[in-house]
Every structure is written in C-alpha cells, then in structure tokens.
Amino acid sequence: RKEVEQDPGPFNVPEGATVAFNCTYSNSASQSFFWYRQDCRKEPKLLMSVYSSGNEDGRFTAQLNRASQYISLLIRDSKLSDSATYLCVASGNTGKLIFGQGTTLQVKP
C-alpha cells in the first residue's frame, strides 16, 4: 500500500464548477501536509499547506482530518488555468516528504 494515495482521475469539469480532490495517508505520525500543483512537464510548486483547522486561499480550501488520515482540496469557480495535476503530500517519520500519485484536473470551456 502506498503511503499517500490519491485518485488519479482525470477529473473533467466545466469552467465555473466546484471540484473536490481527496487523499489518504497511512503514516499516523505524519506532521505536515501540503497540496502541490504540477503543470505538464514542469516542476511541482506549492499550492497550499493543510491544517486541521482548515486553510482557505481564495478559491481554494484545504482540510485535514487526522482521525481519518484524510486530506481534501476544494476548488470553487474553476478556471481554465486551474488545469494541472494536484499532488497530495505528507511528511514521513524522518521529515521526508511523500507525494501521492497526483490527480489530474482538466477544466473545459
């Protein structure tokens, strides 16, 4: 079983839609959680950190549920420019960062 699991998608949504991605992690000792965004043939870039209290940045909301070891990302009012792969990340015991497979989002006009 992978340490961080995501549904690879693809998710195909129209502009303006709300879309949610989920992720689970297996290491209950993980302390830090992030969502990264990766455009085609580019390096991953931090989208936002994830906290138990929730974290909102404009149209993006991230949530952590430690009891269920579950992380979510909600994107409201999707834009064409949101099309990318979204990577869920959890820290390991030693501080290393473990990435999920990524979920591909395609926003259509």
Residues 6+ apart with CB under 8 A from 58: none
Residues 6+ apart with CB under 8 A from 40: 84, 85
**Residue among 26, 45, 59, 108 that touches other proteins (CB under 8 A):** 45
Q: Is 102 in the site for other proteins (CB under 8 A)?
A: yes
Q: Is 96 in the site for other proteins (CB under 8 A)?
A: yes
Q: CA-CA distances (angstroms) from residue 100 to 46, 49, 76, 80, 109?
A: 14, 15, 22, 23, 28
**Residue among 1, 14, 43, 109 that touches other proteins (CB under 8 A):** 43
Q: Which stretch binds other proteins (CB under 8 A): 28-36, 54-62, 63-71, 74-82?
A: 28-36
Binding site for other proteins (CB under 8 A): 4, 6, 8, 30-32, 34, 42-46, 49, 87, 91-92, 94-102
